[in-house]
Amino acid sequence: MTGSDAWSGRAPRTVAEAVAVQDELRSLVDLVGPGPTAPATVAGLDVAYAESGDRLAAAVTVLDAATLAVVDEAVSVGRPAFPYVPGLFAFRELPALRDALDRLTVRPDLLVCDGHGLAHPRRFGLACHLGVVTGLPAIGVGKTPLVGEWEEPGLRRGAWTPLRDGGAEVGRVVRTRDGVKPVFVSVGHRISLDNAVDRVLALTPRYRLPETTRTADQLCRAALAATPA
């Protein structure tokens, strides 16, 4: 087995174990990038839960970066792998997301994750974790903040302000649509923050959230509904 599989496949069962895994994998994050400026394909990942909370569906959709048309997709239905704990969110969805990623027929050039990357208390959010275990460039796009302070960005699409935590810029608060609530963009793996923001803007020609996230969201919801308990 490869060195990476040795611990990335480890499933922590306690908060202490999960934090230890993050502290160990954090050093593997590539913060240099700069990542693809013109990726051919971009993948979106999302997970939907049954109201009972004991079942979930993870989906990955791969879009042609130029046309934003879906060129491949995969889903995985299963159980949450960990309880929801802020800061340890990745352990909950990672197994199912990796399973879905393994079912793709094409390897995307970039991952757009539904959650934060470096904008995390230990600088290792879901986007970093997914980037490290797949080796792919990854971006984190959160709908609400987890850490940091920021000023409200301008009202026009494209406006942004730095998201700072502990003195460092851990991400950016980006207005993807005129007058609409901004999203929180942060680096996951193998990409620069500048490029990450550009990539997110390229994926939001019409809605607040990236097309990748939207298509993945629709797919996992449909998969969950089509798979009765």
Partner DNA sequence: GCGACAG
Partner DNA sequence: ATCTTGTCGC
Handedness of CA 92, 97, 98, 103 (dihedral sign): positive
Among residues 107, 143, 156, 181, the one that binds DNA under rule CB under 7 A: 143
For DNA, the closer of residues 35 and 140 by Cβ is 140
56-64 and 138-142: which strand pairing?
unpaired
Is 23 annotated as belonging to a binding site? no
Is there binding between residue 142 and DNA (CB under 7 A)? yes
Does position 211 interact with DNA (CB under 7 A)? The reply is: no
Query: CA-CA distance, 146 to 113, in Å (whole number)?
Result: 15
SS3 103: coil
CB of 66 to DNA, least distance (A): 25
C-beta closer to DNA: residue 65 or 219:
219
- Token pair 């802020």: residue: 86
Is there a binding annotation on residue 109? no
Convert 137-150 to b/e letters by CB count within 10 Å (16 or more is b). bbbbbbeeebbbeb
State the binding string over 82-121 for DNA (x if CB under 7 A, else -).
Answer: --x-xxxxx-----------------------xxx---x-
Examine residue 156 and tell whether it contacts DNA (CB under 7 A): no
For residues 52 and 117, what is the distance between their CA atoms, to the nearest angstrom? 28
Q: Applying CB under 7 A, which residues contact DNA?
A: 46-49, 51, 53, 84, 86-90, 114-116, 120, 125-127, 140, 142-146, 221
Residue list, annotated binding site for Mg(2+): 46, 114
